[in-house]
A and B are shown apart, each in its own frame.
Chain A
Amino acid sequence: MGKRDAVVVLSSDEEEEDWKPNKNSRSKLSSSVPQANPEVAKKKKKARFSSSVPRSRSSRVDQFEHLGDEFDEALRAFNGSIGYVKNQRKELWVDKYKPQSLEELAVHKKKVEEVKMWFEQRLRTPKEEFDSYVLVISGPAGVGKSATVHMIASHLGAGLCEWKTPIPTLWQEHVHNSSSGIRYTSKLDEFENFVERTRKYISLSGESKSSIILLIDDLPVSNGKFAYGRLQNCLRVLVQSTRTPTAILVTEYGNTETADRTARSIEELVLSLESAGACKVLFNPVTLNSIKRTLSRICRLEQCNVTAGEIDLIAKASGGDIRHAITSLQYYTLKPETSFSSPSSNGALACFEEKTVDLNSLDVEASLPFGRDETLSLFHALGKFLHNKRDTENAVTSDHDRFHLREKFRRLPLKMEAPEKVLSQAHGQARPVVDFLHENVLDFIRDENIDDAWTVASYLSEADFLLASSRGTITRSYEAESVLQSTAVSVAVRGVLFGNSNPLSSRWHAIRRPKIWQVEQSSVCNKFEMMKQRFTAYDGLSSSNLSHVAMEHRHVLKWLGSRPYGNGVLTQGNDTEGNKVDGMTSEGQQCEASEDEIEDW
């Protein structure tokens, strides 16, 4: 279908023109291509078009035939070109350099061995009864989960019976299908059928031919409780009843704070599978070294010269995702080729290389044209700021000669990236970040350093001021507001980092939720309550300022023991402090409902 569409588009004139030079430039690169084909096709077509210009008078049939011919020609040409592209590029490197043997896997040897043993035991000695025949392999994307299973299967000479999530049905497709009488089956149904089939079929025939591995590469998405329940049930049945070694691959969405329901439900699924008796193997991100090894092997095979530094950079930027690393490499090697023809590009290339070297020394990955988006959770970022890890020695001593800082302003270099960058990775919003820092920072300051505490507090006060001024007038432009916000948070973070001149040696700390949120809410509750009581008690005869009520009237009412407030706040007693605390707790309960919201956040 797709191909035909493409051809129709291609047969229009301008497209052809555009298309040609492009192809020629490519065909220069490889001589093995049947070059003549598109050229010929084009000429023929041109001729036909010119002949069929007086279309209005010529018969329709004629025209149609012409078109048909044209179409065939173009199709042939197109197929040829496809083939040629395939020859040249082969495929994506990711597919091209798929591991061919167990040794080529970038996954850690022991891990592979572990998984292999597991399968081997179950395949070689089918008579024995094992506790479970299901292995859940989980790990982040691109760490070679599928590749490992595939390799092991071929290594053990076992057939692979694979479930792959089918392509979703489009609405048009659905309409088309239903008109032609094909019933729509949901993906979940299909999955259930698959499981059912394999369970029965393999266990029957499996006696004779024992070496089959069942691979469930991608669990179908289940929306809603009911569908989820079905999926869970289906999997549990599978785990409990199957006698075929089965691998279920689960992609972890790990540390990112997307925390949407699907990610969570998948976690739950894995847990339920485990409780049903499945084994679980966790794949870690691929190590830097093995990524580098793989990349340099590909480079060798492709005969492109990429320096070790660049490979290192790519490997680092990939964040343990080998698929990503290989794609990046392919993209990277592509780049100089295209600019090779222009004479000036040599300089540019040199410049580029210089830059990369430069970057390398600075260890800044973000400015590369590739690299996965590294995200941090907010708490990770906060932890970085609060723990305030620094190098033990100042590496760049030469800088000190240039500008001599006074002792009290001197700080050791930070053991992290620029705080603003960390923040942007954590997607931290200004206000919550400042609140969190304020709540927690005191725990990280040494007991004797009250001066530091003040420095930090003053910077936080400054940040609060900046944040407040951004709320001032509404007509202000949003850009100005966002600048103010990021400035405020930067002041707060850097203030915390700078202020704590002698950070505590790191130990475990729980990061608390800012109490200020709770305080604000309960104070609003209280305020409302107070005003209401005051008004109802005195028929609204006079309105008093809230502050007066809070400061003076309440106190007297407390003494009077009359309980117009209606809650347990007003306990009589001499110990005012005790009283306060009492009041606090009951108010805390009042606002519990709203607290939950915060926790959810």
Chain B
Amino acid sequence: MLWVDKYRPKTLDKVMVHEDVAQNLKKLVTEQDCPHLLFYGPSGSGKKTLIMALLRQMFGAAADKVKVENKTWKVDAGSRTIDLELTTLSSTHHVEMNPSDAGFQDRYIVQEIIKEMAKNRPIDTKGKKGFKVLVLNEVDKLSREAQHSLRRTMEKYSASCRLILCCNSSSKVTEAIRSRCLNVRINAPTEEQIVKVLEFIGKKEGLQLPPGFAARVAEKSNRSLRRAILSFETCRVQQYPFTSNQAIPPMDWEEYVSVIASDIMKEQSPKRLFQVRGKLYELLINCIPPEMILKRLLAELLKKLDAELKHEVCHWAAYYEHRMRLGQKAIFHLEAFVAKFMSIYKEFLIATFG
């Protein structure tokens, strides 16, 4: 088991990073009245951990017994029925899913499946009607229609069902949903907090940490706790005992993106563009989200760029990021960005060096 999972706090009391939030949540649950919740914050800040711990607090150990289901739902959409396949994670008390996986049909997931689930509510030991908890991930990726129907579902079934929504950016969640939930912002942990966690893990694993090493890992992690722990473990595999100047291996796909970036800087031609496309395909095959590729690529390119071009390049990156969201096949837009960059950069080179 990876350390990320092994040392994930199981209860709200054991949480190390957002103690205050955890305590508040505990109070909230023990008072028996849990509103809908919306967790938002950057990735690797501990949203999921908090949610899991919260569920455990609510339902006890029963929440741990989960099963994975890959179920096909038949949804009746007016004139025809649609088959939707969705992976869900469920215990007796809660169901967790990622409705945006259904792509442009996410609306039906929200409407039908949630409705269905909300209908059969569990009865607790005292014969009192309890409620089910529905955990929805990546709510910000839901389409507008889906968010609207989510809102309606929320109102209609609020007696029997509690929603816990989780997303990175609340700006992409409609106002209507946000106002119906208790918004919980989870900040990215500070580097000191990360260091604390890493030292805790180190102690548990019985590792010798040279001074400053944990700080370096934390610094590299971009304030993502998950990433910090993962790369900490990588370092452990790479070399132990640690030395304080040990290199921290970067994520392979990031390295690959930087290779692409330097490819782009070296030559600007259709042929090179074609090679770049091949490399982008490889990233896509490995399921790296295209938005992340674009973001990373932009960062890598900006590092090597003259200040006067940065503004324009950023503009185009934003433009194609939007296109990508609207479009269907990411590669078209990624490639258009690369081509535009090449075109700008070549012009710049010619203008400067003749």
Contacts and interface: CB of A to CB of B under 8 A. Distances in A.
Interface in A501-531: 515-516, 519-520, 522-523, 526-527, 530-531
Contacts of B104: 471-472
A449 B269 CA distance: 7
B335 to A, nearest CB: 5
B68 A535 contact: yes
B87 interface: yes
A453 B339 contact: yes
B196 interface: no
Interface string A297-315: 0000000000000000000
B311 interface: no
B214 to A, nearest CB: 17
B13 interface: no
24 contacts: A443-B270, A445-B270, A452-B270, A453-B342, A453-B343, A454-B339, A457-B335, A461-B320, A461-B332, A464-B328, A465-B323, A467-B328, A519-B285, A523-B285, A531-B87, A541-B66, A542-B5, A543-B89, A559-B237, A561-B237, A577-B256, A580-B256, A584-B282, A587-B285
A561 B284 CA distance: 23
Given A464-B329, A543-B89, A442 B274 contact: yes
Contact of A450 (B2, B328, B346): B346
Nearest to A541: B5
A552 B233 CA distance: 12
A547 B327 contact: no
Contacts of A458: 336, 339-340
B268 A550 contact: no
Interface string B323-354: 10011110111011011101100110000000
Contact of A469 (B226, B277, B282, B326): B326
Contact of A576 (B48, B87, B252, B326): B252
Contacts of B191: none
Interface of A: 435, 438, 442-443, 445-454, 456-458, 460-461, 463-465, 467-469, 471-475, 515-516, 519-520, 522-523, 526-527, 530-531, 535, 537-538, 540-561, 576-577, 579-581, 583-584, 587
Contact of B270 (A447, A463, A546, A551): A447
B273 interface: yes
For the complex of A and B, the 5 pairs showing the least CB-CB separation, nearest first, are A468-B328, A454-B339, A457-B336, A550-B287, A576-B252
B52 A542 contact: yes
Nearest to B166: A545
A450 B339 CA distance: 7
Contacts, number: 201
Nearest to B88: A543
B307 interface: no
A516 B329 contact: yes
A519 B280 CA distance: 10
B273 A526 contact: no
B32 interface: no
Contact of B89 (A447, A540, A546): A540
Contacts of B252: 555, 558, 576, 579-580
Nearest to B237: A559
A559 B249 contact: yes
Contact of B285 (A450, A522, A554): A522
By DSSP majority rule, is chain A's interface helix, strand, loop, or mixed? helix
Contacts of A584: 282, 285
Interface in B271-285: 271, 273-274, 277-278, 281-282, 284-285
Nearest to B52: A542
B340 A454 contact: yes
Contacts of B273: 442, 450, 453, 457
Contacts of A527: 287
Nearest to B254: A551
A282 B287 CA distance: 52
Contacts of A577: 255-256, 259
A454 B145 CA distance: 34
Interface in B62-110: 64, 66-68, 77-78, 82, 87, 89, 96, 98, 104-105
Given A515-B281, A555-B253, A556-B2, 13 more contacts: A442-B274, A454-B340, A460-B336, A464-B328, A474-B78, A474-B105, A531-B87, A541-B66, A542-B52, A550-B253, A550-B288, A560-B233, A580-B282
Nearest to A574: B249
B89 A545 contact: no
A516 B332 CA distance: 10
A555 B343 contact: no
Given A468-B328, A531-B87, A542-B52, A553 B230 contact: yes
B67 A540 contact: yes
A541 B4 CA distance: 12
B234 A538 contact: no
A556 B342 CA distance: 33
Interface string B284-296: 1111110010000
B226 A552 contact: yes
Contact of B287 (A451, A452, A530): A530
Interface string B246-268: 00010111011001000000001
A541 B64 contact: yes
A374 to B, nearest CB: 31
Contacts of A556: 2, 230-231, 233-234
A579 to B, nearest CB: 7
Nearest to B329: A464
A545 B96 contact: no
Nearest to B255: A576
B40 to A, nearest CB: 14
